[in-house]
Amino acid sequence: MRSPEPPADWASVEVAVPGRSARLPGIGMAGFRQRVPAPADITMVAHPSVTLFVDLGEGDPLLFDARGRRAGGSAVVGLVPGELRIGGRAGGRIECLQIRLSPAVAAAVLGAPAELGTAVVPLEEVWGRDAGRAEDRLRTAASWDERFTVAADLLGRRLDARPSLDPEVAAAWWRMLTSRGRVRVDGLAEEVGWSRKRLWSRFRSQIGLTPKTAARLVRFDHAAHLLAAGNPAAWVAAAGGYADQSHLHREVRAFTGATPTAVAAAPWLAIDHVAWPASLAGPTPSPGRAPRERGGDR
């Protein structure tokens, strides 16, 4: 699979990634900075993680909109926000720290990730009174490296203080990731030693999505990256385990409101390999070996 180059209008985006000392399991971080001559209008693509956006710019706050659910400034975006757009900050500089949390980590860091299944909410609503102090520390840091170190410290403290997911739920989620979402819920329940009903109930209460929807999200994320790499939709449908190209089209529409062609050109996906060199969803297979077996959409 070939790695795409960022579109011309995204060539000015500065991307920073943390060194090994600031990395934590289940957490991805990246810093973004860009001058914008006009109001920002950025389309985001769903990812199998709970995402924190810490707005570090000056002037008017960034605005997050997902199907009528809005938040300004720093925000938290759930696993399936729908058609998510980021706007605001006219004629200024966008500066933002983006943090991706696996659902297991989000449960410990945020306390109630299930409530964020399809939500977009201000950071302070889930981070509490410490949100403002955290923003101040990150804003006054002298470099991106220092910001990553501060963020790792803040996240690490919350990880140590809160419980995570049930081991069975965490195992089911990991199985979804390693299978690229192509897994039967009945099979998952058997693997973790629970009934299908118990897995469905506990998974939804802790992750915020049903196992079926979560598996669909993981599979979509894989397909979106294959599309962004320039692979034809028909090949992506086969490689991703979709019944056919129409099935892929429906799933892309369901998660983004856009077509596969539009998702393939999404600017954030074009720089994904730069911002997130170690994906939370695992490795990507190469073309030419498109698996034909079906699964996941059960």
**pTM given for the model:** 0.82
| pLDDT confidence of residue 282 | 40
The model's pLDDT over 9-21, given as tens digits with 9 standing for 90+, comes to 545 778 898 988 7
Which of the two residues, 164 and 175, has the higher pLDDT score?
175
Highest mean pLDDT out of 248-252, 273-277, 281-285? 248-252
Answer yes or no: do 103 and 189 share one domain: no
Highest mean pLDDT out of 73-77, 106-110, 235-239? 235-239
| pLDDT confidence of residue 261 | 92
The model's pLDDT over 218-258, given as tens digits with 9 standing for 90+, comes to 999 999 999 988 999 999 999 999 999 999 999 999 888 88
Q: What is the CATH number of the domain that holds 211?
A: 1.10.10.60
Which of the two residues, 286 and 227, has the higher pLDDT score?
227
Residue 59 pLDDT exceeds 80: no
Contact 250, 18 (CB under 8 A): no
Q: Output 57-60 pairs: Cβ under 8 A, ≥24 positions apart.
A: 57/89, 57/92, 57/93, 57/94, 57/95, 57/96, 58/92, 58/93, 58/95, 59/89, 59/92, 60/88, 60/89, 60/90, 60/92
The model's pLDDT over 16-36, given as tens digits with 9 standing for 90+, comes to 989 887 788 889 999 988 776
Which of the two residues, 122 and 150, has the higher pLDDT score?
150
Average pLDDT along the chain: 80
| pLDDT confidence of residue 115 | 59
| pLDDT confidence of residue 125 | 84
197 found inside a domain: yes
Which of the two residues, 175 and 1, has the higher pLDDT score?
175
Answer yes or no: do 154 and 196 share one domain: no
Beta strands in 90-203 (DSSP E): 92-101, 120-122
Which of the two residues, 258 and 80, has the higher pLDDT score?
258
| pLDDT confidence of residue 91 | 56
Q: For residue 134, give the amino acid letter.
A: A
Answer yes or no: do 148 and 262 share one domain: no
Q: Which of 133, 161, 189 is the last residue of a domain?
A: 161
Q: What distance in Å separates the CA atoms of residue 8 and residue 12, rounded to the nearest whole number? A: 8
Residue 295 pLDDT exceeds 60: no
Q: Give the distance, in angstroms, between the CA of residue 54 and the centroid of all CA atoms in the same chain.
A: 14
Answer yes or no: do 157 and 16 share one domain: yes
* Residue among 74, 77, 72, 97 nearest 87 (CA): 72
Beta strands in 103-207 (DSSP E): 120-122
For residue 118, give the DSSP letter.
T
Q: What is the CATH number of the domain that holds 154?
A: 2.60.120.10
Answer yes or no: do 171 and 95 share one domain: no
The model's pLDDT over 175-203, given as tens digits with 9 standing for 90+, comes to 999 999 999 888 999 999 999 999 999 99
Q: Could you tell me the residue range of the domain that residue 46 belongs to?
A: 8-161
**What mean pLDDT comes out for the span 268-279?**
73
Answer yes or no: do 139 and 173 share one domain: no
Q: What share of the chain is helix, strand, coil (3-state, %, to 5)?
A: 45, 20, 35
Residue 148 pLDDT exceeds 70: yes
Number of H helices, E strands in the chain: 13, 10
